[in-house]
Amino acid sequence: MDDRKLEVLRAIVEDYVSTQEPVGSKAVAQRHTLGVSAATVRNDMAYLEEAGYIQQPHTSAGRIPTAKGYRLFVDRLGKIKPLSAAERRAVHRFLSEAIDLDDVVTRTVRLLAQLTHQVAVVQYPSLNRSSVRHLELVSLTPTRLMLVMITDTGRVEQRYVELPAELSEDDVLELRRLANEQLQGKPLADAPRAIADLVDLVRPELHATASALARVLLETVVARTEERVVVAGAANLTRAGNFFAGSMRPILEALEEEVVLMQLLGRADSNALLTVRIGDENHLDDFRETTVVTAGYGPGSVVGHMGVLGPTRMDYPGTIAAVRAVARYVSEILEQNR
């Protein structure tokens, strides 16, 4: 593959992204200083089309990149353009004003949406990789407790516990003490065993109650691997030419399905710093025209993913830079709470 052919592809991608219209040979020849004539560009275009990097919407129209074309662009041509110093400062300031973990996540997702003008998705720090900092039991009614679990990533989980029998305040305190002794400091991955032991530690009269509690605890740390995800910037879907009305519906629906969102974020290879999935690389029919850019974040190791989602025809260098920068800053913030 010729060097100049690559330049032609880059020109087509860049122009198409900015104008949203098929780009013709003449435009390429004069807007980008390739030093060749339109006719030459035409020959290269014919080659690129043959090779599957670009295509014509219809005869006698300009060319637009295919998913394969974008892929090549991202892999070999896109020099990511870092954020400006001012932008970086703004990101930093905005994130460091967060008042709790919820707020960190909320601010992050808004920031991403605003920087990239796309739909942003942020996953809460995964429970699996954190450990228990504190358990709190509060009685709501004589036969109903609320269990609150706080993890060292600052996440708070709450659940109701239905009790088989009435429970005195003293009993609540005892259960709380025991549960904390058993679980404090334990990584969630190791928690199930400790929870199982819990039942044996209590007085026989409390057995039934303790096992109800244990069941809920178990659900909290294990079954509820259904991770929480937040979304922002849905309005960006309506940006001129981002998506035609018809294809918006399924995307809006997907944004309310945690399963789909997790799939989009989670399929990311955890090792990679940053993943770009273009069009059908998402393996989801509704996202055939959609690109997802994701990055892992976390203090040291990856505890969650964040990303943005937009039309395949997006500003890759800018988007990639933004996602990477935000992921980095969020990781820093989390690091400070270790």
Partner DNA sequence: ACTGGCACTCGCGGACCGGGAGTGCCAAAC
Partner DNA sequence: GTTTGGCACTCCCGGTCCGCGAGTGCCAGT
> Among candidates 77, 97, 75, 67, which has minimal Cα distance to 14?
77
**Segment 181-220, which members bind a copy of itself (CB under 8 A)?**
219
**Contact flag: residue 18 with DNA (CB under 7 A):** no
CB nearer a copy of itself, residue 26 or residue 215 = 215
Partner from DNA, a copy of itself, none binding residue 173, C-beta < 5-8 Å depending on class: none
Q: Confirm or reject binding of residue 128 to DNA (CB under 7 A).
A: no
- Which residues ranging from 23 to 62 are in contact with DNA (CB under 7 A)? 23-27, 35-40, 42-43, 45-46, 49, 56, 58-62
CB 297, min distance to a copy of itself, A = 18
Q: Which is nearer to DNA, 37 or 225 (CB)?
A: 37
Distance of closest approach, residue 100 Cβ to a copy of itself, in angstroms:
5
Site string for DNA, 56-95 (x = CB under 7 A): x-xxxxxx--------------------------------
* First vs last C-alpha separation in the chain: 50
210 sits near DNA (criterion: CB under 7 A) = no
Which secondary structure element, helix H or strand E, spans residue 231, and what is its range?
Answer: strand 229-232
| 4 versus 324: smaller Cβ distance to DNA | 4
Q: Does 237 bind a copy of itself (CB under 8 A)?
A: yes
Instruction: Say how far apart CA 145 and CA 241 lie, in whole Å.
Output: 51
Q: Does 156 bind a copy of itself (CB under 8 A)?
A: yes
Which helix (H) or strand (E) segment holds residue 134: the answer is strand 132-141
CA distance 41 to 59: 17
Nearest distance in Å: CB 297, DNA: 42
Of 216, 220, 219, 128, the C-alpha closest to 175 is: 216
Q: Which is nearer to a copy of itself, 77 or 172 (CB)?
A: 172
Q: Hey, what amino acid is at 215?
A: R
Q: Residue 248, interface with a copy of itself (CB under 8 A)?
A: yes
Among 253, 259, 272, 283, binds a copy of itself (CB under 8 A): 253
Write down the number of H helices and E strands in the chain.
Answer: 12, 10
Contact between 153 and DNA by CB under 7 A: the answer reads no
Query: At CB < 8 A and 24+ separation, what contacts does 297-302 make?
Result: 297/327, 297/328, 297/330, 297/331, 297/334, 298/125, 298/129, 298/331, 298/334, 299/331, 299/334, 299/335, 299/337, 299/338, 300/335, 301/129, 302/270
Cα 166 to Cα 141: distance, rounded to the nearest angstrom: 9
User: Binds 93, which of a copy of itself, DNA, none (CB < 5 to 8 A, cut-off by type)?
Assistant: none
Q: Which of residues 93-122 bind a copy of itself (CB under 8 A)?
A: 98-102
Span of 22-30, 101-109, 124-132, 253-261 interacting with DNA by CB under 7 A: 22-30
- Say which entry of DNA, a copy of itself, none residue 212 contacts (CB below 5 to 8 A, set by partner kind): none
Starting at the edge strand found earlier in the chain, the sheet holding 274-278 runs: 229-232, 119-123, 304-311, 290-297, 274-278
Which amino acid type is present at position 84?
A: S
Burial (0-12, 13-18, 19+ Cβ within 10 Å), 29: buried
128 binds, among a copy of itself, DNA, none (CB under 5 to 8 A by kind): none
Tokens of 296: 């892992």
Residues that bind a copy of itself (CB under 8 A): 98-102, 133-134, 136, 138, 140-141, 144, 146, 148, 150, 152, 154, 156, 158-160, 219, 232-235, 237-238, 245, 248-249, 252-253, 255-256, 336-338
